[in-house]
Amino acid sequence: QADAVYIATDPDREGETIGWHLPQALQLKHPRRVVYSEITPEAVGKAIAQPRTLDADLVAAGRARDCLDKLVGYKGSRHVVWPLNNGAKSMGRVQSATLHLLCQREREIQTFVPQDYWSVWVLYDNGIKAFYRRNAAAKAPHPRKTEVAPDPTRSTSGLAQPSNPNEPHIHDDAQTQKIGPESDRITSQVEADRLVAIARTHPHTVIKVEGKTHKQSPPPPFITSTLQQAAGQRLRFSPEQTMKVAQALYEAGYITYMRTDSVALAAPFRDAVKQYLAQHDPDNLPKRATSHRSGKGSQDAHEAIRPTKVNHTPGSMPTLTPEQAKLYDLIWNRAVASLCCPATLRKTRIVTQSGEAFWEARGQVVEFPGYTRYWNNLKADTQLPPVQLGQGLTLKQAEAEKKQTQPPPRYTEPKLVQLMERKGIGRPSTYAPTIKVLRSRTYVQRVQGKLQPTPLGLELDAALNVLLPDLIQPEFTAQMEAKLDAIAHGQQEWQSYLTGWHRSYFAPAITCAKTKVTSGEIRGLLDAQSAVIGKTSPPTQQGEEQQAILTSAPPPYRQPSGQLSEQPSEQPSGAAESTRPKAKSQSVKPSPTAATTSRTRCPKCEARMSKIPSKSKKMKAKHFLKCQTPGCGTVMFWNSRQKQYELPFAQRAPDPGAFTDYPCPVCGAWLERHGYQKDGQAKEMLRCSLPEHRRGKCKEVAFFQTKHGFWSPKFGNLQSVVSSKVSSKVSSKS
């Protein structure tokens, strides 16, 4: 009845698609689309004054993404994951690729073999600590290998960036890299002792003194991924918690839209920050405006995450909750810092020589803090005392410190978000939900703040690596994201892309995967993988919790067998041995996702089955049983009505007492009685007794009990069907 209807859904592809669905659901004619990135009177009024039509290209990209996700999720889960019968519930286009990243890292940790090495250093009486170098040429300290991604939103302000490719790049998470000075690695105790002897028996002379001024550019304002990373590192927020708090700040009108991959800032906000700096911090006002470049594939029509008003400083917001105040403080300081002057650093390098050995010391001092007054991402100052070329130094100490190479660390949630962005997996709106799904499906658990795949997650990934290997590769998922970007820019027709993708790749891949599952071909492949990779993951630190990790699934397809009864609430007779060491001062509580041994024996191999916790709302009990015997893997579920554990329907042996004298109208096999519940009442129906037919040509054969006998929506009254069958047989004989 309104004269005009304005659609103001979120300013992204998903919001545009919702805006396309609304007129159809509400039967609206000629709705007007308005877009704003901040909920303020000025922004909303400006958007209402400049309405537009729905963007057909953005809608097409949103619909294509929706169809792709449903094709992969629905068909993959039904035809590939569920037949594994290992408790896995789903797979997904983004979900499975992300799980594969975590499982890859877990297998790297499991197969890692530590190696001994020695770090050789000297300490002079003037306080300089220098590390062994093979020559006097400039070389950055050997950093510990880490999965730190380069900032995709690097500055383009024309300021100098680190030119040495080996030098660690300083960006928003530099404080967590833990890169310390270290000598060139010595792999022999004999060589290390020889170098120490040289240092102790030869005089030390300064042969190089180098100093240079370096300007460090300010970091860009937050996008979704970098906000989640910074909140995780500095506030210990999970991505889900970060987005929940940011949503509240956005709805209250304090920040701009928080699902974005663009670092662009609106001109009015840049002018407001310029005025703020001129009034409160004039030394930090750059002569030339600082600019930042967004990452590849970003939607530059959006803004970065910023405060709506720069005058709303963190200390002047008493109405915010503690969590909101902490996150707003990060957003405000990062946005202001991105428009400040660069920091000026004085870097010093001193090289000394004793005999044939060279020793290097490095220092760094902040001469002008610049943007670090608001966002400090620099390492602490290391000031070296003044020395002159040719000066002799007095040795105070020379040591060779034995160390071991460390396995790559597991990902924290912020690091995983960073990796997903770098690999092109998902969009800003899907980072946090994807991690939430992986945890809710018990594919991943959080151990000491880091994400670790569970046995179920590793089993599923190993199976998908055999059945649908392309779909779990990050490169494959990134290519699909690039196609969606092309659709959003009007360069690709979405229906033709979907049709071609399904016909040329997905349909044949699903068919091949189904064949491998039903034929049992996957059994040998998974057993071979489990033989290659170890069964447990080693500890990475003293006292760290160790989890028993299975690296591949047992054979997923099982033959039907009997049923056993056990109350799910009873205590198990024994618990699986824990591999976690106890801390000195307190005991380690068992993980809520840890499996325990039940009293129920496997109907196939007679081994005791393990209770596997599950958060599925479809299950009456919060767990299911699984046989952990290699080569078995039978699963059973609790039937609250029968008060017993039962095999999945497809694996149960047929009950001869359930057969009727009525033939199936499609295949001719006997119909069987099947009990079910409706509205809390027990009901009975007749269906085809062949499970393989019930999933195929006989899936519509269902006769429901009525006052006048059994009746089917498709075939009608059962007696009429039987009579017609008999009549047709008589006529054929005559």
Cα-based distances in Å from 544 to 177, 178, 379, 582: 20, 19, 27, 9
Joined tokens for residue 701: 């054969």
Residue 592: helix, strand or coil by DSSP?
A: coil
* Cβ 355 vs Cβ 251: under 8 Å: no
Whole-number Å distance between alpha carbons of 311 and 321 = 19
Whole-number Å distance between alpha carbons of 597 and 625 = 9
Q: No. of H helices and E strands in the chain? A: 19, 22
Helix, strand and coil content of the chain, in percent to the nearest 5, comes to 35, 20, 45
Question: What DSSP state is assigned to residue 149?
Answer: P
CA 477 to mean position of chain CA atoms: 13
Q: Looking only at Cα atoms, what is the longest distance across the chain?
A: 120
Whole-number Å distance between alpha carbons of 275 and 576 = 65
**Of 222, 60, 105, which Cα lies nearest the Cα of 153?**
222
Please enumerate in sequence order all residues whose Cβ is within 8 A of that of 449, keeping only pairs 6 or more positions apart, or say none: 236, 412
| Catalytic option among 257, 374, 411, 431 | 257
Question: Tokens 């002897």 correspond to what residue?
Answer: 197
**Of 130, 115, 135, which Cα lies nearest the Cα of 399?**
130
Helix 56-70 and helix 93-111, axial crossing angle in degrees, nearest 10: 60
Residue 33: helix, strand or coil by DSSP?
A: strand
Whole-number Å distance between alpha carbons of 394 and 674 = 91
- What are the two backbone dihedrals, phi and then psi, of residue 147, each rounded to the nearest 5 degrees? -90, 55
Question: Tokens 């071609």 correspond to what residue?
Answer: 500
Whole-number Å distance between alpha carbons of 376 and 488 = 37
* Cβ 101 vs Cβ 469: under 8 Å: no
Alpha-carbon dihedral angle through residues 663, 665, 666, 670, given to the nearest 10 degrees: -10
Whether residue 257 lies in the annotated active site: yes
Whole-number Å distance between alpha carbons of 411 and 108 = 12
Residue by residue, what is the 3-state secondary structure of 384-445?
A: CCCCCCCCEECEEEEEEEEEECCCCCCCCHHHHHHHHHHHCCCCCCCHHHHHHHHHHCCCEE
Please enumerate in sequence order all residues whose Cβ is within 8 A of that of 709, keeping only pairs 6 or more positions apart, or say none: 717, 718, 719
**Residues with a known catalytic role:** 257
